[in-house]
Structure 1
Amino acid sequence: MMDIKLEKLQHADANKLYEFELENKAYFEKMVPSRGDDYYHLEIFIKNHEALLDEQAKGRSCFYLIKDENDILLGRMNLVDIYKSQHMGHIGYRVGEAYTGKGVAHTALKLFLSMVSKQGIKQILAKTTTNNIASQRVLEKNGFTCMETDDKAFEMNGQLFKFVYYKWNM
């Protein structure tokens, strides 16, 4: 298993994160709905990056990069829609294709849960797609419980999928 760390997203990360997202676009879009072609135009990506940093500065979200001991970007982990009064938020994460199957997501999520629980977050909601078994396992190994699977299916890459919803309580 790799030594990994989580680093809070910063302005200086924009280009490295853009390259990571571009490099893994096709892989990610096999598992989750596309972010749309506009997302991958550098100019728009930079604007979105600045908006994320603004959201983070206001305490509504926390964005982290998953890196190895050599500062190689392996993935990202985000806590969004933070409701401080309710001590909760929604998590999302993605690990680059070259780093899957190595325990990166499991270890990063474990680190993340430890970090956010110290910040007063007591409940985290997550969702994944029915075809993303690896993500379901990562959530379950880290103490998330499956709440439900959507009744409605959506089409992605010519196939029908549903969202699966999870919850973690401290």
Structure 2
Amino acid sequence: MPDLQRLHPDHAPALLAFERENRAFFAASVPDRGDDYFTHFAARHAALLAEQATGACHFHLLVAEDGEVLGRFNLMDAADGAAELGFRLAEKATGRGLATATVRELFTLCTSAYALTTLRAAATLTNTASQAVLKRTGFVPTGEKVLRSGKPGLAYVRQLTGQAPAGRAL
């Protein structure tokens, strides 16, 4: 069973492998990170850890039993009880409900560890898989149109207090 883990320094090699192996898959639905991301990965990883240490962001990896990274689940710009959710799942891990289950698991961390009550998210119009995950986990479209690296998308919001959709407890 995959484990949701907070990002730490030892994740760097497996995370880089995840990003390299899935680069073309991700680029089909979200803007490509560019060659510079991979060239300067070590510095980028260190910067993420430093940012996480401030409490402004909370970065998580979905890690298989063998240590392989299956996904990234990030809470960014945390302030005043709200943060923005971003996630990506390895191509070979899609279609099994892992993203949906992990986002739901993240809700518990949001309320218990990070004192978050509201999550925002956005997905490009072409990223129907992420839109489906957001809807299945109780996010609702705000009606706001956004640009994600120049691509049109939709904004979503999810309140983490009260009752979850379909009678599921949070």
In structure 2, the partner of 1:121 is 116
SS across alignment from 1:150 = strand
**Contact 2:70/2:90 (8 A) holds in 1:** yes
In structure 2, the partner of 1:62 is 58
SS across alignment from 2:28 = helix
1:8 aligns with 2:6: yes
Q: Deviations over 1:43-83 (max 9, x none)?
A: x1000000000001110100001023443311110001111
Once the two structures are superposed, the pairs formed by residues 10-25 of structure 1 within 5 Å of their partners are 10-25=8-23
Shift of 1:151: 7.2
TM-score (norm 2): 0.87
**Contact 1:143/1:168 (8 A) holds in 2:** yes
Identity of aligned residues (%): 33
Q: Deviations over 1:15-35 (max 9, x none)?
A: 110011011001101111111
Report the count of equivalent residues: 159
* Residue segments in structure 1 that go unaligned for 5+ positions in a row: 156-160
Shift of 1:153: 9.3
In structure 2, the partner of 1:158 is none
TM-score (norm 1): 0.87
- Aligned CA RMSD, in angstroms, stands at 1.7
Which of 49-58 and 67-76 deviates more?
67-76
Q: Deviations over 1:59-118 (max 9, x none)?
A: 0100001023443311110001111xx200111000001111111100110100111111
* Residue segments in structure 2 that go unaligned for 5+ positions in a row: 161-170
In structure 2, the partner of 1:105 is 99
Find 1:135's aligned residue among 130, 139, 160: 130
Compared CA separation, residues 154 and 5, structure 1 to 2 (3 A)? closer
In structure 1, the partner of 2:81 is 87
The 1-side partners of 2:38 and 2:69 are apart by 18
The 1-side partners of 2:25 and 2:94 are apart by 11
1:34 aligns with 2:29: no
